Amino acid sequence: MEEIYNRELSWLQFNDRVLQEAMDESVPLMQRLRFLGIYSNNQDEFIKVRIANLIRYNCLKNKEQMKMTGGYTPAELLPLINQKVQSSQNVFRATYEKIINEMELKGIYMINETMLSEKQKEFALNYFTSVVSRRLVPIVIRKSMELPFLPDGKIYLAVKMTYRKTPRYAIIQIPESRDCPRFVELPSEEDGRIDIIFLDDIIRLFLNDVFFMFPYDEITANTFKIVRDAELTLDDDVSKSLTQKMCQGISKREKGKPVRLVYDRDMPLDVLNTIARKFGFKSSEQIEAGGRYHLMRDLMKFPVVRPDLENSNKKPLLHPLIKPFESFLKVIKKRDILLSYPYQTFNHLIDLLREAAVDPKVQAINITLYREASHSKVINALINAAKNGKHVIALVELKARFDEEQNLEYTTLLQDGGVKVIHSPDELKVHSKLILIERNEGGKSTKGYIYVGTGNFNEDTTGIYSDFGYFSYNQIIVEDARKLFDFLQNPHKHYSFKKLMVSPFYMRKQIEGIIENEIKNARKGLNSYFYGKFNSLTDEKIIKLLYKASKYGVKVRLLVRGACCLEAGIKGLSENIEVRSIIDKYLEHARMIICCNDDNPQCHIMSADLMTRNLDRRVEVGVIIEDRKIHDTLIDYFKIEWNDNVKARNIVPPYENKYVRHTGEPYPFRSQDELYKYFENLKYEP
């Protein structure tokens, strides 16, 4: 029996849990629609990254010897994945239709171009003329010419014009943007009724105006989308800067090889064959029949037309020890602080950076940046600090997948603002979430203030991502951070760290040491457990070590939101291991480890998941929590999530995503709601 579950299949099981949220009638109706958008976005990224990789591996000469997790060859795995993708897509379509029907019961109608009243047609004509038409660039397909490059991440209309039984084909890109959104609200003639139309259908309605110069007896249009390989390959030319290489690599990726064509199942066969041939699709497994509409990730941006049918998230809490318009640095100097987003406000971190930017005693700020907000207050604070004479160093990770272009733009913005920008060392990606503030507080040396986080410095996502942020004045941790920032600027140097867990140097060894210590204690007959919360668990060495721990009686409890290659609950292998996954209104993104340590529990938070890439090929940072109040808070946090009996699923073979339901306990217990109450009532001694 293979002891490791396949990573790709496990990830698809995770996305099915997202789809479950769209199917859950206890979730607010419009949020269910947005979960369909999240599912669709996830699925598109999976195809352009994971399936594209498998196709690439399957083309290698030694593909027979190549094994994926779970023991599959790429050739064996691809049909299983395609079958699963298609099966889930069928559920997606049925769920979408059900939600649309339920929306109609609430007075919200999705209508197409054949259903418009005269008043709505007049509105649509004005909208098409003033907003849409000038953004359209029709491409007429000719046999003798190659199809112009069409980027993925877009929706296209395949147009067929028939004149005296002779067809002519054309393609129109749907020009969705902030000024030309995918969904358009139409005027309604009934009180309480809301009519929404896809932009696609407005264009269908006025095809005659687009192609007025061609004679035809009949004209039809069907949507399709293409998904391209998202692999980003960098030039080896040593004479080029990393920025130059990234710009060229992004350009090449945008023109990556098509790996999947998804089309409207009502598309005429001759149109489908023409499109498939022009894109070079030869395998039927790469061509998928879909519904009338594609790129359904846009459902995440569906207009808010009925606030009462949306999630009612509570306002983020202020930390009890942090007062408005008072020094946050003074608070950190007195005691360590833990923030738990989104239950507590991310604005505290923004305020800290703003304070540091103008504090005359602050001399320097060092920060690692991975994914930032589109209009980042963090970036603005760093530039303000530089303008105030602070020495600001920002490591901007250019290799953050799908955020490379924005990070290139921020590189220029920061440099123009006087910030020293550095980039990650070759062959490493910097995924740590770290800030070091240096302050002159008298004496010969400066004192440091440190922040270690599990999530990005991104105010756009902290309202929906569940993460930790830890602040400390501990000068041993500060010295570790100084060493790490020195390494990032001088990667030929090597350091040891006293308090920080740092990959790719020591984090793997430290985590393995924690598990081995629990095994040692279990063999002595002492209490032993290993609790963990991660986004993904796919590293085979860690998994096999956890199997070993289970065999010796260590109680292992894991909260894993996404892919999990560990097979829990198998007799003789992992019977002492339980794995659960929580999918709810907030994205579970925090990472932590809690171990028994001979009844002297230890807690760590970190930026890393238990994946080989995080432990061996990325710069990640974790920290042991020594403050007793924060330590106890993290243990309570894990217990609350573990006791969830509303949104938690058991992740055990045969991977059916069954909900956790406790008998004999108060019901319901929804951990994200309970965590808000917990932090709302959390008290601190003066």
Indicate whether 382 and 480 sit together in one domain: yes
Considering 69, 85, 106, which residue would you say is the last residue of a domain?
106
Q: pLDDT-based confidence at 494, cuts 50/70/90?
A: confident
Q: pLDDT-based confidence at 353, cuts 50/70/90?
A: very high
- Structural domains of the chain, count: 4
pLDDT tens per residue across span 587-612: 999 999 999 999 999 999 999 999 99
* DSSP string across 570-600: -TTTTTTEEEEEE-SSSEE---EEEE-TTTS
Residue 427 lies in a domain: yes
Residue 317 lies in a domain: no
Residue 162 pLDDT: 95
Residue 2 pLDDT: 61
Q: Give the H or E element holding residue 269.
A: helix 269-279
Return the closest-CA partner of residue 366 out of 484, 467, 268. 484
Per the CB < 8 A criterion, the answer to whether 336 and 309 are in contact is no
pLDDT tens per residue across span 573-585: 999 999 999 999 9
Catalytic-role residue among 431, 589, 604, 631: 431
Residue 248 pLDDT: 46
Residue 250 pLDDT: 43
Distance between CA atoms of residues 418 and 382, nearest Å:
9
Q: pLDDT-based confidence at 1, cuts 50/70/90?
A: very low
Which one is predicted more confidently, 27 or 290? Answer: 27
Mean local confidence (pLDDT), 337-366? 97
Per the CB < 8 A criterion, the answer to whether 147 and 279 are in contact is yes
Residue 237 pLDDT: 41
The question of whether 431 is a catalytic residue gets the answer: yes
pLDDT over threshold 90, residue 177:
no
Q: pLDDT-based confidence at 246, cuts 50/70/90?
A: very low
Considering 302, 336, 356, which residue would you say is the last residue of a domain?
302
Mean local confidence (pLDDT), 159-171? 94
Residue 174 pLDDT: 95
- Cβ-based neighbours of 99, under 8 Å, separated by 6 or more: 22, 29, 32, 33, 36
Per the CB < 8 A criterion, the answer to whether 471 and 443 are in contact is no
Residue 240 lies in a domain: no
Indicate whether 512 and 654 sit together in one domain: yes
pLDDT over threshold 60, residue 63:
no
Residue 597 pLDDT: 96
Q: pLDDT-based confidence at 61, cuts 50/70/90?
A: low
Indicate whether 581 and 612 sit together in one domain: yes
Q: pLDDT-based confidence at 249, cuts 50/70/90?
A: very low
Which one is predicted more confidently, 248 or 102? Answer: 102
**In the predicted model, what is the mean pLDDT of the chain?**
91
Residue 318 lies in a domain: no
Indicate whether 603 and 623 sit together in one domain: yes
Considering 497, 529, 561, which residue would you say is the last residue of a domain?
497
Residue 672 pLDDT: 97
pLDDT over threshold 60, residue 238:
no
Residue 252 lies in a domain: no
With 0-12 / 13-18 / 19 or more C-beta atoms within 10 angstroms meaning exposed / middle / buried, residue 569 is: middle
Return the closest-CA partner of residue 553 out of 578, 589, 586, 528. 528
Residue 665 pLDDT: 65
Q: What percent of the chain has pLDDT over 70?
A: 94
pLDDT over threshold 60, residue 187:
yes
pLDDT tens per residue across span 69-118: 888 888 889 899 989 998 999 999 999 999 999 999 999 999 999 999 99
Residue 644 pLDDT: 96
Residue 248 lies in a domain: no
Residue 288 pLDDT: 87
Per the CB < 8 A criterion, the answer to whether 522 and 599 are in contact is no
pLDDT over threshold 80, residue 586:
yes
For residue 50, the 8-state DSSP code is: I
Indicate whether 665 and 517 sit together in one domain: yes
Residue 251 lies in a domain: no
Indicate whether 152 and 224 sit together in one domain: yes
Distance between CA atoms of residues 248 and 493, nearest Å:
30
Residue 321 lies in a domain: no
Tokens of 88: 């889930």
Which one is predicted more confidently, 60 or 515? Answer: 515
Q: What is the CATH number of the domain that holds 59?
A: 1.20.58.310
Residue 609 pLDDT: 97
For residue 497, the 8-state DSSP code is: -
Tokens of 444: 């010969």
pLDDT tens per residue across span 418-472: 999 999 988 899 999 999 999 999 877 899 999 999 999 999 999 999 999 999 9
Indicate whether 390 and 513 sit together in one domain: no
For β-strands 183-186 and 166-173, DSSP reports them as unpaired
Indicate whether 477 and 491 sit together in one domain: yes
Q: pLDDT-based confidence at 251, cuts 50/70/90?
A: very low
Return the closest-CA partner of residue 449 out of 460, 462, 467, 435. 435
Q: What percent of the chain has pLDDT over 90?
A: 76
Indicate whether 290 and 149 sit together in one domain: yes
Q: pLDDT-based confidence at 284, cuts 50/70/90?
A: confident
Mean local confidence (pLDDT), 231-248? 45
Residue 432 pLDDT: 95
What's at 264, amino acid-wise? D
In terms of residue numbers, what domain contains 524?
503-680
Q: What is the CATH number of the domain that holds 169?
A: 3.30.1840.10
Q: What is the CATH number of the domain that holds 398?
A: 3.30.870.10
Indicate whether 92 and 132 sit together in one domain: no
Indicate whether 220 and 194 sit together in one domain: yes
Residue 189 CB neighbour total at 10 angstroms? 10
Q: pLDDT-based confidence at 239, cuts 50/70/90?
A: very low
Tokens of 217: 């007896």
Indicate whether 362 and 398 sit together in one domain: yes
Return the closest-CA partner of residue 309 out of 94, 40, 33. 33
Residue 406 pLDDT: 79
